[in-house]
Chains A and B, each alone.
Chain A
Amino acid sequence: MLKAAINAELLKDSIAALAVIVDEVRFKISQEGISVKAVDPANVAMGIFELRAEAFDEYNADECEIGIDLNKISDLLGLADKTDTVKMELDENSQKLLIDVGGLSYTLSLLDPSTIRAEPRVPQLELPVKVVLNGLDLRRAVKASEKISDHMLMGVSDDTFYMEAKGDTDKVRLEMGRDQLIDLKSGDACSLFSLDYLSEIVKPANKANEVTLSLGRDFPILIDFEIANGAGKVSYLLAPRIESD
């Protein structure tokens, strides 16, 4: 059972954050809220998403699992105003989600969850370094790197966090000291990441005032930020490129 109402922009952003990783997801619904874990088809990036009941204007649910085509739902939310309220109700018998927004009533057919890739296991990683920065700064560094290369290096040396991209002839580097960062736990970290993935991941992170990066040496990066004033959280885990030669 699910009966809920939520701000349209918040739902739109949540869907966009998931669409970075996959097109179809299993939503795990419980009394506490909604959660998703999904991994991209190439096993390189994972998204972990939760939106607690407090994020909703109205929330009533029992434990269940539904399969959703993210493209369809983001298409229909495209017509909604930022301030609209989206009302959702699950019809379990017919496996349809009834959505009311801006005076329009949609009946959205759900996907059979068993046809969607199962929730992945999340690797337990020891990531020694933590960098907290503004989402805009991260996005800016990624955009600059895209112009030069397909990959971006992220690391910490002493008390400076750096992001760097090297092309065949050109190079771009953004350094941020302790005073420019919101927080820094320094240590040994330097890993290379594919911009194909990073560019997509930083888009939803752009709106967040605080984005936490957890890093290691040649290790995956964990990118965390809060949504819905702290009533929800998005995390991405991205595997590194290891170029030994």
Chain B
Amino acid sequence: MKEELCIKCKGKGLCGRPRCPILENFKSVKSSFPIISGNSIFGASPPAVFVGSYGYPKVSAGPLIPPFVKSKEAAFLEEPSGWGNLIIEDIISMRSSLVRANTTFNVKEAPGKENPLLLKAQELALSKTPVDTEAWFFKAPKQELKFDSVLTPMGPAGLVKNFEIAENPKVPKKVDYLVYDTDALAKDAALELYRSEVAPEQISRLFSIGLLGKKRKLVPTRWSITAVDDMAGKAIADKILDYPPVSEISLFSGTHFGNHFEILLLPRSYAFELIETWLPKTVWSGDSSWIGEDREGPDGKKQYSSLAGGYYAARLPVLEYLAGIKRQASVFILREITPEYWAPLGVWVVREGVRKALQNPPETFPSIEVAVSKLAGRVRTPKTEWVQKARMLSDFRFQTTLDAFF
């Protein structure tokens, strides 16, 4: 198979195979699967729900339940911001304890009045804190993992006969209010939740299980994650256009699970460019390296990014940073994916990686040439291979602005 196709597709199925062979390989990664005795499990859902995309519009969906895990420990399973000090193996083994209690639904069933299993999954998704849940399966769930480019790994899956929530979910006021608002568009509801500082994980959970918007539908989890990153990003980008530009050229740097980030802020109007360089032997690249680029100007992006969910996940934290310092900037990010990123962990790696890099103290530079040579020295891909794709860097150096002619 063409390796280039794999890196662009990242498991979406562009090659026509029913299942992605790269992702199938990861299913059997050795991991500590939960012990499931008999056909039922009991544990505290973090809470988490999963909506598949395979077979759309008939998808499998349901809650994620870690057997024997208590409320106190469960929340951590859905909190990527706390995983900074773990290693990839830890994350896989931790997440493999999450059993998917699936049922097949049509996405249009989301208003959910008739289907009691969907109603219960929605009830669980509303909660801010873990919810004790018991599930009964037709057959004991299969001991295998689920990996995906956008999703965080998950454990065994089984077709569920029934499940029950054993305690009352704790529903934040704002969430309660917007879930009952069937006149607000999903986009506006999601934004309002984001502005009220509801965690993005919870927003995409509500969105995917069909609890937001006018015409409600189940939305596959991998789509809902990127949709929330994009909606939140767009809203901030609109706002920062009114702020003055940053005053100097600054560079942030950081590494997260084998993903290295170089983030350059340039004193110009808002624009965003991401270059991804995949070194050989990473999850999607096979034996050759691959370099991709995508960008947007102050008007934002019209089409879905060629760099897929990672583009929106990288953009959001920088925009949050700029909104925080009340400045705009032209933002250039180089993301280098090294072989140390050996298993796909989901786009949170990008979001958290950029967020973490922005917490490091920046270096400032008198000229873009110096900044770029510093940046290039810290990545393994030779500068000549990526620099001609970096439109923003050449625009910043060569494109004058009208202010220069007064």
Residues of B387-406 whose CB lies within 8 A of A: 391, 395, 398-406
Question: Does any Cβ of B come within 8 Å of A220's Cβ?
Answer: yes
Cβ contact within 8 Å between A242 and B405: no
Q: How far is the CA of A242 from the CA of B268 in the complex (A)?
A: 17
Question: Does any Cβ of B come within 8 Å of A156's Cβ?
Answer: no
Cβ contact within 8 Å between B401 and A125: no
Chain B residue nearest to A121 (CB atoms) is B406
Q: How far is the CA of A23 from the CA of B268 in the complex (A)?
A: 19
Q: List residues of chain B with CB within 8 A of the CB of A220.
A: 400, 402, 405
**0/1 per residue, A60-78, Cβ < 8 Å to B?**
0000000000000000000
Question: Does any Cβ of A come within 8 Å of B269's Cβ?
Answer: yes
Q: How far is the CA of A43 from the CA of B298 in the complex (A)?
A: 11
Q: How far is the CA of A39 from the CA of B269 in the complex (A)?
A: 12
**0/1 per residue, A38-62, Cβ < 8 Å to B?**
0111111110000000000000000
Question: Does any Cβ of B come within 8 Å of A132's Cβ?
Answer: no
Q: List residues of chain A with CB within 8 A of the CB of B21.
A: none
Cβ contact within 8 Å between A43 and B271: no
Q: A42-B268, A42-B269 are in contact. Are A194 and B405 (CB under 8 A)?
A: no
Cβ contact within 8 Å between A41 and B405: no
Cβ contact within 8 Å between B402 and A44: yes
Measured CB to CB, the closest approach of chain B to A220, in angstroms, equals 6
Q: How far is the CA of A218 from the CA of B403 in the complex (A)?
A: 14
Q: Which of B270, B391, B400, B402 has the most CB of A within 10 A?
A: B402
Question: Does any Cβ of A come within 8 Å of B116's Cβ?
Answer: no
Q: List residues of chain A with CB within 8 A of the CB of B176.
A: none
Q: A41-B269, A41-B270, A42-B268 are in contact. Are A123 and B405 (CB under 8 A)?
A: yes
Measured CB to CB, the closest approach of chain B to A3, in angstroms, equals 33
Q: List residues of chain A with CB within 8 A of the CB of B404.
A: 239
Cβ contact within 8 Å between A243 and B402: no
Question: Does any Cβ of A come within 8 Å of B248's Cβ?
Answer: no
Q: List residues of chain A with CB within 8 A of the CB of B269.
A: 41-43
Cβ contact within 8 Å between B405 and A239: yes
Q: List residues of chain B with CB within 8 A of the CB of A42.
A: 268-269, 271, 297-298, 401
Q: How far is the CA of A42 from the CA of B402 in the complex (A)?
A: 9
Question: Does any Cβ of B come within 8 Å of A33's Cβ?
Answer: no
Q: List residues of chain A with CB within 8 A of the CB of B399.
A: 44, 194, 239, 241
Q: List residues of chain B with CB within 8 A of the CB of A155.
A: none
Q: List residues of chain A with CB within 8 A of the CB of B406.
A: 121, 123
Question: Does any Cβ of A come within 8 Å of B79's Cβ?
Answer: no
- Using a Cβ–Cβ cut-off of 8 Å, how many residues does chain B contribute to the interface with A? 19
Question: Does any Cβ of B come within 8 Å of A237's Cβ?
Answer: yes
Q: List residues of chain B with CB within 8 A of the CB of A45.
A: 402
- A219 touches which of B299, B398, B405 (Cβ 8 Å): B405
Chain B residue nearest to A197 (CB atoms) is B399
Question: Does any Cβ of B come within 8 Å of A135's Cβ?
Answer: no
Q: How far is the CA of A239 from the CA of B404 in the complex (A)?
A: 9
Question: Does any Cβ of A come within 8 Å of B179's Cβ?
Answer: no
Question: Does any Cβ of B come within 8 Å of A240's Cβ?
Answer: yes
**0/1 per residue, A204-244, Cβ < 8 Å to B?**
00000000000000011000000000000000010111110
Q: List residues of chain B with CB within 8 A of the CB of A125.
A: 405
Question: Does any Cβ of A come within 8 Å of B241's Cβ?
Answer: yes
Q: Is the interface of A mostly helix, strand, loop or mixed?
A: loop
- B398 touches which of A41, A237, A243 (Cβ 8 Å): A243
Cβ contact within 8 Å between B400 and A242: yes
Q: A41-B241, A42-B269 are in contact. Are A239 and B402 (CB under 8 A)?
A: yes
Q: How far is the CA of A43 from the CA of B401 in the complex (A)?
A: 5
Q: Which of A43, A46, A123, A242 has the most CB of B within 10 A?
A: A43
Q: List residues of chain A with CB within 8 A of the CB of B297.
A: 41-42
Residues of B236-257 whose CB lies within 8 A of A: 241
Measured CB to CB, the closest approach of chain A to B360, in angstroms, equals 28
Cβ contact within 8 Å between B401 and A44: yes
Cβ contact within 8 Å between B299 and A23: yes
Chain B residue nearest to A44 (CB atoms) is B401
Measured CB to CB, the closest approach of chain A to B269, in angstroms, equals 5
Chain A residue nearest to B298 (CB atoms) is A41
Measured CB to CB, the closest approach of chain B to A244, in angstroms, equals 8
Q: A41-B269, A42-B269 are in contact. Are A237 and B402 (CB under 8 A)?
A: yes
- A239 touches which of B271, B299, B401 (Cβ 8 Å): B401
Measured CB to CB, the closest approach of chain B to A42, in angstroms, equals 5
Q: How far is the CA of A125 from the CA of B402 in the complex (A)?
A: 11
Q: How far is the CA of A8 from the CA of B404 in the complex (A)?
A: 38
Cβ contact within 8 Å between B402 and A39: yes
Q: List residues of chain B with CB within 8 A of the CB of A241.
A: 398-400
Q: List residues of chain B with CB within 8 A of the CB of A150.
A: 391
Q: List residues of chain A with CB within 8 A of the CB of B398.
A: 241-243
Q: How far is the CA of A11 from the CA of B401 in the complex (A)?
A: 30
Residues of A176-220 whose CB lies within 8 A of B: 194, 219-220
Cβ contact within 8 Å between A43 and B241: no
Q: List residues of chain A with CB within 8 A of the CB of B298.
A: 40-42
Q: List residues of chain A with CB within 8 A of the CB of B395.
A: 194
Q: List residues of chain B with CB within 8 A of the CB of A121.
A: 406
Q: Which residues of B are interface residues toward A (Cβ below 8 A)?
A: 241, 268-271, 297-299, 391, 395, 398-406
Lowest 6 CB-CB distances: which A-B pairs, in order? A41-B298, A43-B401, A123-B405, A241-B398, A239-B400, A42-B269
Told that A43-B269, A123-B402, A194-B399 touch, could you supply 7 new A-B pairs with CB distance under 8 A?
A43-B401, A43-B403, A44-B399, A220-B405, A239-B404, A241-B399, A241-B400
